C-alpha cells in the first residue's frame, strides 16, 4: 500500500503553514523526498523534518534560512517562522489551550497519565519524552516549559476552580521510575489548595463511558461550556449544546463513581509509599 502523508491545513496555525510550505516546495521541486531534503540541508534528521512538516514540532531558528536557500524562496520561510515562533502550541492543541487559559472552571478526567496541570517537572519531562521518543533536547525543554507555565494560573490570585478525576491506572504507572512516581504522588496527596479537588476513579468502579480517552470540560465566564475529548494521537473539540450536555452527564457519573477527596488522598499516599519502598530497594533516592 502506498504511503499517504497526513493532510495539512495551512489555515489552522502558522506552524501548520510552515509545514505546508515545506511539503509544497518539496513537491514543486520534482517530488523531492524527505531523505533528499535531509541530504541537502545536512544538519537535520529525516524524523525531525517530518515532525516539523506535520506541525508536530516547532521549527528551529536555523531551519528557515536553510529552506529559503534550498528552495530559492526569498525569505518566505523566515517570514512564516516569525509568526510560528509566537505560538506555544501545535495547531490542534491551540484552541483547547486558549480555553484552559480563560476558563473559570476546569474539569478533567484522565485515564492514562497524571493531569498536566498537576505534574511535577520530572513527570512532565518523562511524559512528554515518552509521547514523542524522537523529540530533540531543545524541543523537550521548550515543551516542559510550556507545560509548567500552564500551571502558574492555578497559583495566581484569581485561579480557576479545578476538578480532577484521575483513573487509578495512572497512579500505578511508574513514569520516570519509582522514585519519580513517589515524588509525584506525594505532591498530589499534599495538595491542599482550596480551588483544586482531586478524586481517584478506582478499578472497582468497573466499566464506564470514558475508558477510551481523556475528557476536559471548560466553563468560561458568561459563555457556554466547551468540551475537549482526547485520545493518544488525536482530539476533538465539542461545542454544540447537545454534545456538551452528553459529556457533562458522563463526567458527573464519573464523579459519583470516584472516591471521595479524603479517600483519594489516602489511596494516593498508600500507592506513593509503595513506590517509595520500591525506590529504596532499587537504590534510587526518594524523598519522604
Three-state SS at 89 = coil
Residue 288 pLDDT: 42
Pick left, alpha or beta for residue 26 (phi over 0 → left; psi -120 to 50 → alpha; otherwise beta).
Answer: alpha
pTM listed for this prediction: 0.71
Residue 2 pLDDT: 41
> Which one is predicted more confidently, 266 or 137?
266
Residue 233 pLDDT: 61
- pLDDT of 285 strictly over 70: no
Q: What's the mean pLDDT in 144-162?
A: 94
Q: In percent, how much of the chain has pLDDT > 90?
A: 62
Question: Domains of the chain (ranges plus CATH)?
Answer: 14-84 (1.10.260), 91-281 (3.30.870)
Three-state SS at 232 = coil
- pLDDT of 287 strictly over 60: no
> Which one is predicted more confidently, 86 or 50?
50
Kindly indicate the confidence band of residue 55, based on its pLDDT and cuts at 50, 70 and 90. confident
The C-alpha atoms of residue 102 and residue 104 are separated, in whole angstroms, by 7
Three-state SS at 165 = strand
- Of 83, 74, 72, nearest to 19 by C-alpha is 83
Kindly indicate the confidence band of residue 163, based on its pLDDT and cuts at 50, 70 and 90. very high
Residue 284 pLDDT: 63
Q: What's the mean pLDDT in 62-72?
A: 93
- Of 55, 1, 60, nearest to 23 by C-alpha is 55
Q: Average pLDDT of the chain?
A: 88
Contact status, residue 285 vs residue 176, Cβ threshold 8 Å: no
Q: What's the mean pLDDT in 176-200?
A: 97
Q: What's the mean pLDDT in 9-28?
A: 87
Helices 14-28 and 63-71, packing angle to 10 deg: 30
Residue 259: exposure state from Cβ atoms within 10 A (0-12, 13-18, ≥19): buried
> Strand (E) positions, the chain?
105-110, 161-167, 196-201, 214-219, 226-230, 235-238
- pLDDT of 239 strictly over 90: no
Amino acid at each position: 500500500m502506498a504511503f499517504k502523508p497526513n493532510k495539512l491545513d495551512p489555515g489552522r496555525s502558522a506552524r501548520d503553514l510552515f509545514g505546508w510550505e515545506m511539503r509544497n516546495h518539496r513537491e514543486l521541486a520534482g517530488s523531492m523526498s524527505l531523505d533528499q531534503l535531509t541530504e541537502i540541508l545536512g544538519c537535520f534528521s529525516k524524523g525531525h523534518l517530518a515532525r516539523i512538516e506535520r506541525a508536530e514540532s516547532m521549527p528551529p531558528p536555523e531551519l528557515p534560512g536553510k529552506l529559503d536557500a534550498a528552495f530559492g524562496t526569498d525569505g518566505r520561510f523566515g517570514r512564516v517562522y516569525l509568526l510560528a515562533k509566537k505560538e506555544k502550541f501545535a495547531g490542534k492543541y491551540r484552541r483547547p489551550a486558549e480555553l484552559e487559559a480563560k476558563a473559570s472552571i476546569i474539569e478533567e478526567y484522565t485515564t492514562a497519565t497524571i493531569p498536566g496541570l498537576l505534574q511535577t517537572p520530572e513527570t512532565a519531562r518523562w511524559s512528554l519524552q515518552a509521547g514523542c521518543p524522537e523529540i530533540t533536547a531543545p524541543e523537550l525543554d521548550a515543551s516542559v516549559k510550556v507545560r509548567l507555565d500552564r500551571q502558574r494560573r492555578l497559583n495566581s490570585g484569581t485561579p480557576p476552580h479545578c476538578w480532577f478525576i484521575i483513573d487509578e491506572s495512572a497512579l500505578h504507572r511508574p513514569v520516570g521510575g519509582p522514585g519519580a512516581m513517589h515524588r509525584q504522588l506525594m505532591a498530589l496527596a499534599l495538595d491542599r489548595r482550596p480551588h483544586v479537588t482531586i478524586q481517584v476513579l478506582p478499578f472497582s468502579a468497573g466499566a464506564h463511558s470514558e475508558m477510551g480517552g481523556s475528557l476536559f470540560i471548560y466553563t468560561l465566564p458568561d459563555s457556554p461550556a466547551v468540551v475537549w475529548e482526547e485520545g493518544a494521537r488525536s482530539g476533538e473539540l465539542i461545542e454544540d449544546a447537545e454534545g456538551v450536555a452528553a459529556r457533562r452527564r458522563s463526567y458527573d457519573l464519573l464523579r459519583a463513581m470516584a472516591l471521595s477527596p479524603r479517600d483519594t488522598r489516602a489511596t494516593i499516599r498508600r500507592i506513593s509509599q509503595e513506590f517509595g519502598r520500591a525506590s529504596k530497594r532499587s537504590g534510587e533516592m526518594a524523598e519522604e
